[in-house]
Amino acid sequence: MVPIIGITGTLKEDVEAAAERPLGRFVRTDLDYVDGVAGAGGTPVVLPPWGDEKAAAALVGCLDGLVLSGGSDLDPGYYGEEPDPELGPTIPERDAFEMALVGLALRRGIPIFGICRGLQVLNVALGGTLYQDLPSQWEGDVLKHRQVTPKWQPSHEVEVAKGTYIAEVMGREMVKVNSYHHQGIKDLAEGLVVTARSVDGVIEAVEARDLSERWLLAVQWHAEAMRGAGPQQESLFEAHVSAAEHHALRRAAA
């Protein structure tokens, strides 16, 4: 059975269209996410960030897996903080939709794979908090986590913890990754474990404490953009699609 994998989209401003109509915005998802899911054997479906919890529930009921994509900062109100001066742009519609979507997916046991912002959203949805801006809030030296080079180029290494699921999936304990974020996990949510860090200590990957109970995996780097750099990144999508396939079979048998 080919699993249906939802990929969260974002909203972008269209300057030219804005001159012709009041709302010059469009839904966007990098094709790298779509290719990553399709290449691993799943059926990708882009989810527009629109609607309330009722709309999210209707979509979740059709999904076997969920990819939380990268993008804008998450409103700190979701983890009980006021905006920091260095907070980047937020998209209220996307924040509200994704938080509802993740909550429903967690309750249904749908496998979730978070990427960059997706890691942060997953952590907050489970009760964790974030650094709103690593360069100004991190205690100690911090790497440059916002590279200016192309996404397919790695900018630093991360150390993957021995004996973790992600170490098994990627087949190594040191991985070169790209880096396009200025936020990161501060307080880790209950139910997650840290599985990789960069040399400065920033959390780079997490997974569910009990993967037999629910399949959750998230990375801070953009794995979708590095699939051509080696099989390690592709293996993350393959692992997620495999978990989604098992979910699809259980759903069909119910």
Q: Is 116 a catalytic residue?
A: yes
Catalytic residue, from 98, 116, 156, 182: name it: 116
The CA distance from 178 to 70, in Å, is 13
CA distance 126 to 150: 32
Contact 66, 112 (CB under 8 A): yes
62 is catalytic: no
Q: Report the C-alpha gap between 119 and 121 in whole angstroms.
A: 6
Of 206, 203, 152, nearest to 181 (Cα)?
A: 203
Q: Give the separation between CA 237 and CA 171, rounded to whole angstroms.
A: 14
Length of the chain measured in residues: 254
> Which residue of the set 145, 222, 240, 247 is catalytic?
222
Which residue among 204, 207, 224, 245 is the active-site one?
A: 224
Distance, in Å, from the CA atom of 194 to the CA atom of 207, rounded to the nearest integer, reads 7
Q: Which residues are catalytic?
A: 116, 222, 224
